[in-house]
Chain A
Amino acid sequence: MSLTYWNSLAGGSLIGLACSAYLLLNGRIAGISGLLAQTLSGRAIWPGAALLFGLVSGPLLWHLMTGVWPEMTIRAPWGVVFISGCFVGFGTRLGNGCTSGHGVIGLARLSPRSIVAVICFLGAGMATATIVHLLTRT
């Protein structure tokens, strides 16, 4: 198994650790889209907003520890980037969760709603990414 897969397992375990700690300490679900909506509503934003502050601090800490900034490459054109952001924002609210709330925590607690949500967003995501790849390759 290559180093990448060990990194994947370690990274996933850290995400699971964060979700477990938030559950056991604060008794809440660390669903990022829900925390964002709660913070934007301006009502009862704590402690959720603090988790989002931690989230944005991660890359700074990573830079302090490793000396490099995390890599990030976005190939989609500007217009597509904005529109897809809107889709993700509206869609995660309508469906009540994203990759963290439904994907990680929902699957871990075997919630039927989350299993359906994951099938939908993984299916739609794979179909979209595959079709875009086939249409745009030269």
Chain B
Amino acid sequence: MFAVMRTVAAFLCGIIFSLGLILGGILNPSNVLSFLNVSGNWNPALVFVLGSAVFVTFCGFWLKKNLSHPLLDATFQISTARQIDKSLIAGSCLFGLGWGLTGLCPGPAIASFFLLQSKSLLFLLGLIVGTMVFSYRNSVWRNFLRFR
């Protein structure tokens, strides 16, 4: 029963997230690029989107302090990693490079699926390829280390 409720909750969260992306203008890459490009007519709207999203989520984490477990599950599953390593920096820079080229990050790329725009679908294909190449590379690398 709780498993079904978790799935429904996740679906509703996805819808709210998506409407937020559309209302905030993040779904449209040309808005994102007008923020990332500082040499043209700079558009600060993204600061308001990110700022309010961070603020509301901050309040969410504040509420979480009162809970011993999430409402629909037994435990919280939150990363406790603290190490700042080369992967974090290299990966984030590579992500930024891709983000700056087209103006799409994973959320909008997935959310725009049913708009059926050929270029956004092509980006989504690239996103899936990049994600799978990483998983494959990782498993090959782990096997290599094991058999060496």
> What is A's interface to B at a CB cutoff of 8 Å?
4-5, 7-30, 32-33, 36-37, 40-41, 46-48, 50-62, 69-76, 78, 80-100, 102-105, 107-109, 111-113, 116-118, 120-130, 132-134
- Whole-angstrom distance from the CB of A38 to the nearest CB of chain B? 10
Give 13 A-B pairs besides A27-B75, A125-B99 with Cβ atoms closer than 8 angstroms. A13-B52, A16-B60, A17-B56, A36-B128, A37-B134, A74-B102, A76-B102, A87-B95, A100-B17, A117-B91, A120-B88, A121-B96, A124-B97
Are B131 and A90 neighbours in the complex by a CB distance under 8 Å? yes
Are B95 and A95 neighbours in the complex by a CB distance under 8 Å? yes
Are B78 and A29 neighbours in the complex by a CB distance under 8 Å? yes
A56 to B77, CA, bound (A): 24
By a CB distance below 8 angstroms, the chain B residues around A20 are: 56-57, 59-61, 63
Are A128 and B100 neighbours in the complex by a CB distance under 8 Å? yes
Does more than half of chain B's interface fall in helix, strand or loop, or is it mixed? helix
Interface residues in B, total, Cβ within 8 A: 110
A95 to B9, CA, bound (A): 27
Are B126 and A85 neighbours in the complex by a CB distance under 8 Å? yes
CB within 8 A of B122: which of A24, A82, A121? A82
Are B101 and A70 neighbours in the complex by a CB distance under 8 Å? no
A90 to B95, CA, bound (A): 8
By a CB distance below 8 angstroms, the chain B residues around A88 are: 95, 98-99, 104-106, 109, 123, 126-127, 130
Are A24 and B30 neighbours in the complex by a CB distance under 8 Å? no
Would A85 and B84 be within 8 Å (CB), given that A62-B19, A120-B93 are in contact? no
Are B95 and A50 neighbours in the complex by a CB distance under 8 Å? no
A30 to B10, CA, bound (A): 9
A133 to B53, CA, bound (A): 28
- Whole-angstrom distance from the CB of B114 to the nearest CB of chain A? 6
A124 to B105, CA, bound (A): 13
CB within 8 A of A85: which of B9, B64, B129, B135? B129
Mask of B10-28 contacts with A, CB within 8 angstroms, 1/0: 1111111111111111111
Would A82 and B92 be within 8 Å (CB), given that A59-B18, A72-B120 are in contact? no
Q: B145: CB under 8 A from chain A? A: no
- Which parts of B56-97 form the interface with A (CB within 8 Å)? 56-61, 63-64, 67, 69-73, 75-79, 81-84, 87-97
Are B17 and A54 neighbours in the complex by a CB distance under 8 Å? yes
By a CB distance below 8 angstroms, the chain A residues around B1 are: none
A50 to B64, CA, bound (A): 22
